[in-house]
Amino acid sequence: MKFHAFLLCVAFLVQVPAQAAESDVRQSAPEKSEAIPSWANTAQEVLINALSLTGIKYRYGGKSPETGFDCSGFVRYVFQQATSMTLPHGAKAISQLGQPVNKEQLQPGDLVFFNTLRTTFSHVGIYVGNHKFIHAPSSGGSVQIVDMSDTYWAKRFNGARRMETQLHADSSDSH
């Protein structure tokens, strides 16, 4: 499982700079602000942080590698480490942030939400690409990558959010 996570991370790290280089060649207008990090770079940091936590045990209410994670504690910790964004602790509260993303337009680093407790937006994870996401699953489990196409997850998918707008809002608040 860790080798699989490593391969996904390497594939993403190779893909993002290549896309950025192509974009730089085609781009003729200067960027609006170099002080605001690009979402591609931020998403890469989010994934690096998330994948480094694979195997950490699940703990209800957990929010650190030392104590373990629940789903929102995991997402909150990863985003805090990668972006300095402070997300709320709770999948439902996190689902109110960022911008909605269609399932077909998911990009690595997007947040994916599921109905796992007979309540919408009761579970959250981080999309890693190729229909897979990383999350802290439930009691007895540990942070792992799973396939969103699996029947269990496919029928419980509630939506996705991209935190790019949240990142830019947090950046402008600090100036």
Q: What's 74-123 look like in SS3?
A: HHHHHHHHHHCCCCCCCHHHHCCCCEEECHHHCCCCCEEEECCCCCCCCE
Residue range 31-49: mean pLDDT, rounded: 77
| Residue 163 token pair | 């935190």
Active site residue 9: no
pLDDT at residue 121 tops 60: yes
Contact 137, 69 (CB under 8 A): no
**Catalytic choice (9, 89, 131, 135):** 135
Q: What is the pLDDT of residue 166?
A: 76
Residue 25 within any structural domain of the chain: no
**Catalytic choice (4, 9, 71, 89):** 71
Q: Compute the distance between CA of residue 170 and CA of residue 153 in angstroms, rounded to an integer.
A: 31
Other CB atoms within 10 A of residue 33 CB? 10
Q: Compute the distance between CA of residue 83 and CA of residue 61 in angstroms, rounded to an integer.
A: 22
pLDDT, tens digit, for every residue of 2-19? Answer: 544 444 454 444 454 444
Angle formed at CA 2 by CA 7 and CA 133, multiple of 5 degrees: 75
Residue 127 within any structural domain of the chain: yes
pLDDT at residue 174 tops 80: no
Active site residue 131: no
Residue 155 within any structural domain of the chain: yes
Angle formed at CA 52 by CA 14 and CA 19, multiple of 5 degrees: 20
CATH of the domain at 162: 3.90.1720.10
- Domain of residue 140, residue span: 2-17+38-173
Binned at pLDDT 50, 70 and 90, residue 39 comes out as confident
Residue 110 within any structural domain of the chain: yes
Residue 91 within any structural domain of the chain: yes
Q: What is the pLDDT of residue 170?
A: 60
Binned at pLDDT 50, 70 and 90, residue 109 comes out as very high
Q: Tokens 């929010």 identify what position? A: 63
Contact 153, 144 (CB under 8 A): no
Summary mean pLDDT of the chain: 83
**Catalytic choice (9, 89, 123, 131):** 123
Residue 135 within any structural domain of the chain: yes
Q: Tokens 């790290």 identify what position? A: 13
pLDDT, tens digit, for every residue of 159-169? Answer: 999 998 776 66
**Distances in Å between the alpha carbon of 108 and those of 35, 118, 140?**
22, 27, 26
Residue 31 within any structural domain of the chain: no
Pick the closest to residue 94 from 108, 68, 117, 74 (CA basis).
74
Residue 108 within any structural domain of the chain: yes
Active site residue 123: yes
Residue range 49-62: mean pLDDT, rounded: 98
Q: Is the pTM of this model over 0.75?
A: yes
Overall number of domains in the chain: 1
Helix (H, G, I), strand (E, B) or coil at 104: helix
